[in-house]
Amino acid sequence: MNSTKNLDKKITRRDAIKIGSLTTAVVAATAIVSPKETLAQTLNKSVEGSSAKRHATIDDIYKIDPNMRRFDQANTAFCKSVLNDFGIKPLNPDDNPQLKNAFMNVVFSSDGFNPISGLENPHLKEQKPGHTDLDLALDTGALGMENFTSSAFARIMANESGTAISLPDGTLMPLSLYKQDVPLPGQFKKFPKKYKFETTDDAAYAIKKAAKLYGADLVGIAPFEERWVYNTEAYIPFDVNGQPIKEEVNIFRKVEFDFEPKSVIVLGFEMDYESYKTQPSAIGAAATSMGYSKMMETSVRLAFMLRRLGYNTVHAGNAVGVSVPLAIQAGLGESSRMGLLITEEFGPRVRLAKVYTDLDITTDAPKTFGVKQFCEICRKCADACPSKAISKAVKTTDPENKPMNDCNGKGIDKWYNDHQKCLSFWGENWGECAVCISVCPYNKIDMWHHEAARSITKIPGLRNLARSFDEIFGYGQAGSEKLMKSYWKRRI
């Protein structure tokens, strides 16, 4: 499906002249750029106010209600979908009425059969480009480490002794490596002797150095704040047939730490650019799955290191607390229209994990580089969204921009999106979507015109051209079967 819409505004002659002038300037700039300096950095030096600005706290960037209630993990779209609290129906009324819980098709997409509805994946049956056996196998392999060590979508049962978990094929895994998302007291033994860093700056340097070695692409440190911790956490068990055990909702519990956290280490992981160009597809989903596996591996390694140094840790993927505000506070990026973090390095094409610890570490400062102002103009993600789930309100303060359902955390200056619509499309697609990430002008690799486009987003007078610039060079197209078909033919 190609959901990308035509530009709301045609490129005018004046715009074309501006783009042409800028392109000429960019080409000229490439001749004088320092080998250690990106083109964007060079352009930013010549434009007053176009560089990233640092702030003391996230509250200096976004208006946040001081009485904001902590969010319940059970209200996240994924939890509500798995438990079918949404009562999700197909977006298209002509579709099969048996599709009572569309999102569960995503859970069972690897083998192409949903035992809850009795439906088969039509894309897989037809070997549709982007959803072939080879494509789905790619995704299955990418998610392998995540499935072995987290219960996000793993079909697992604890054994009678409670010391291990049993996977469907009978494989036993020790609980010491199981479940990154829920803090289990005593899960990893702490070394009795506490290592003392000379300064909190030294601690920050060591932690970031280790995190990069362990696999993180981005690392930032945020102060621990209870407001970004889930009020209650949700652990959804599955039975041996892989179906959620709804009657065991008593496992939902208050999020508590058995130590006093001081710092949160926020980790960012780039998702593969080439794979993401094929979204929405199983090929693109494989890049997401690799992100989840990296989240697990790196956060576990960092937790082991800190425990060896004598400090307490809780490592988490999507659980324990909300990741985007923590990443903003840690200086990794800004919030966006689609609700995801936008980074300078990879745009929204990142996954986030975090490690809570009682080690005192120098924190990073939040930064802004024009994302909110650009999102007000662009709206490309909203236009391309297959389910029309992303707000088209120009500003976050517009009256039509309001919470849609319980999945929206309230009391924060942001765009509100309809996650029920979003995950309904996931179910009908028998896999994830991520079209919003794929078409975003910030989602680019390091080529000169991409660096130029990034620079435009930071220049107030030229922001309205950035989307046009992206289209001119042929990027940001979603659902291209040509790209899906050619993925396996492009040689490495």
> What is the pLDDT tens value at each position of the chain, 492 positions in all?
443 333 334 444 444 444 454 454 444 444 433 443 433 343 344 333 446 899 999 999 999 999 999 998 878 887 777 665 554 444 444 444 444 455 666 655 566 666 656 677 888 889 999 999 999 999 988 987 776 655 433 333 333 333 444 444 344 343 333 344 343 334 456 677 899 999 999 999 999 999 999 999 999 999 999 999 999 876 655 554 555 555 544 345 678 888 999 999 999 999 999 999 999 999 999 999 999 889 988 998 998 899 899 999 888 888 889 999 999 999 999 999 999 999 999 999 999 999 999 999 999 999 999 899 889 988 999 999 999 999 999 999 888 888 888 888 889 999 999 988 888 888 888 888 999 999 998 887 655 445 565 566 666 656 566 666 666 655 667 778 888 999 999 877
Amino acid present at 227: R
In order, the DSSP letters of 217-279 are SEEEEEE--GGGB-SEE----B-TTS-B-GGGGGG-EE---SS---EEEEEEEEPPHHHHTT-
* Residue 6 within a domain: no
* Residue 75 within a domain: yes
* Residue 342 within a domain: yes
CA 60 vs CA 64, 296, 323, 372: distances in Å: 9, 32, 18, 14
* Residue 446 within a domain: yes
In order, the DSSP letters of 57-99 are SGGGTS-B-TTPPPPPGGGSHHHHHHTT-S----SSTTS-TT-
* Residue 305 within a domain: yes
Amino acid present at 482: K
Between CA 259 and CA 313 the distance in angstroms is 9
* Residue 426 within a domain: yes
Q: Which residues span the domain enclosing 193?
A: 13-486
| Number of domain units in the chain | 1
Whole-model pTM: value is 0.80
* Residue 265 within a domain: yes
* Residue 492 within a domain: no
**Burial label, 223 (beta-carbon count in 10 A; 0-12, 13-18, 19+):** middle
